[in-house]
Structure 1
Amino acid sequence: MQAKEPQSLATTVAQWDGHRDHDYGSVVNPIYLTTTYDQSRQPADGARPFDYSRTSNPNRVDLEDILGRLEGGMACLYSSGMAAVHAAFQAVCTNASHVVLPHDAYSGTLRLVLEELARFGVTHSLIDMSDVALVEREVTNATTLIWVEHPTNPGLRSVDVRSIAGIKKGAVLAVDNTIATPVYQRPLELGADLVVHSTSKYLSGHSDVIGGCVVTSSSELNARLHVIQNSFGSVPSPVDCFLTGRGLKTLHLRMSAHTRSAAAVTAFLESVEGISDVNWPGFSGMVSFRCPSADALADALTLFRSATSLGGVESLVKVPWSMSGNMMGAAFKAYPADTVRLSCGIEDPDDLVRDLDRAFNLIGLTKRHRTAARPTPEAHS
Structure 2
Amino acid sequence: MAEKPGFSTASIHAGYDPDSHLGPINIPIYASTTFAQNGLNELRGGYEYSRVANPTVASLERTIAALEGAKHSVVFSSGMAATDTVLRILLRPGDHLVLGNDAYGGTWRLIDTVFGAWGVEYTVVDTTDVAAVEAAINERTKLIWLETPSNPFLNITDIAEVAKVKGQATLVVDNTFATPYLQQPLELGADVIVHSSTKYLGGHSDVVGGAVVCNDDALDEELRFYQGGVGAIASPFDAYLTARGIKTLAVRMEQHSTNAEKIAALLDASEHVKEVHYPGLSTHPGHAVAARQMRRFGGMVSVSFHTEQAAREFCTSTELICLAESLGGVESLVEHPASMTHQSAAGSQLEVPRELVRISVGIEDAHDLEADVARALQALS
- The TM-score, its normalising length taken from structure 2, stands at 0.92
- Name the structure 2 match of 1:140: 138
Q: Is contact 1:42-1:48 (8 Å) kept?
A: no
2:61 to 59, 64, 84: 64
SS across alignment from 1:116: helix
Q: Deviations over 1:139-190 (max 9, x none)?
A: 1111000000001101100111000000001100000000111111100011
Q: CA deviation at 1:14?
A: 2.2
Flag structure 1 segments of 5+ consecutive residues without an equivalent. 365-381
- Aligned pair count reads 361
SS across alignment from 1:166: helix
- Name the structure 2 match of 1:153: 151
Letter of the structure 1 residue corresponding to residue 87 of structure 2: F
- Name the structure 1 match of 2:286: none
- Name the structure 2 match of 1:229: 227
1:306 to 323, 332, 336: 323
- Name the structure 1 match of 2:294: none
SS across alignment from 1:101: strand
2:185 to 179, 187, 196: 187
1:320 to 322, 327, 337: 337
- Name the structure 2 match of 1:253: 251
Letter of the structure 1 residue corresponding to residue 56 of structure 2: N
Q: CA deviation at 1:324?
A: 2.9
- Name the structure 1 match of 2:300: 286
Q: Is contact 1:19-1:58 (8 Å) kept?
A: no
Q: C-alpha distance in 1, partners of 2:336/2:367?
A: 23
- Name the structure 1 match of 2:200: 202
Letter of the structure 2 residue corresponding to residue 165 of structure 1: A
**Mean CA deviation greater in 18-27 or 49-58:** 18-27
SS across alignment from 1:28: coil
SS across alignment from 1:224: helix
- Name the structure 2 match of 1:367: none
- Name the structure 1 match of 2:92: 94
- Name the structure 1 match of 2:292: none
Q: CA deviation at 1:328?
A: 3.3
- Name the structure 1 match of 2:369: 352
- Name the structure 2 match of 1:168: 166
Letter of the structure 1 residue corresponding to residue 49 of structure 2: Y
SS across alignment from 2:20: coil
- 1:13-92 correspondence runs (5 A): 13-16=11-14, 18=16, 20-41=18-39, 48-73=45-70, 74-92=72-90
Does 2:3 match 1:5?
A: yes
Q: C-alpha distance in 2, partners of 1:278/1:106?
A: 19
Q: Deviations over 1:110-165 (max 9, x none)?
A: 10011111000000011111111100100111100000000110110011100000
Sort the Cα spacing of 1:235 and 1:19 in 2 relative to 1 into closer, same or farther, 3 A.
Answer: farther
Flag structure 2 segments of 5+ consecutive residues without an equivalent. 281-296
SS across alignment from 1:178: coil
Q: CA deviation at 1:20?
A: 2.0
Q: Is contact 2:345-2:351 (8 Å) kept?
A: no
Sort the Cα spacing of 1:172 and 1:333 in 2 relative to 1 into closer, same or farther, 3 A.
Answer: closer
2:354 to 333, 337, 348: 337
Q: CA deviation at 1:48?
A: 4.0
Q: C-alpha distance in 2, partners of 1:178/1:17?
A: 20
Sort the Cα spacing of 1:110 and 1:43 in 2 relative to 1 into closer, same or farther, 3 A.
Answer: closer
Sort the Cα spacing of 1:118 and 1:43 in 2 relative to 1 into closer, same or farther, 3 A.
Answer: closer
- Name the structure 2 match of 1:378: none
Q: Is contact 2:106-2:344 (8 Å) kept?
A: no
Tell me the C-alpha RMSD between the 2 structures. 1.6
1:107 to 105, 108, 118: 105
- The TM-score, its normalising length taken from structure 1, stands at 0.92
Q: C-alpha distance in 2, partners of 1:294/1:43?
A: 60
SS across alignment from 1:159: coil
Letter of the structure 2 residue corresponding to residue 285 of structure 1: G
Q: CA deviation at 1:333?
A: 4.2
Q: Is contact 2:171-2:192 (8 Å) kept?
A: yes
Q: CA deviation at 1:327?
A: 2.8
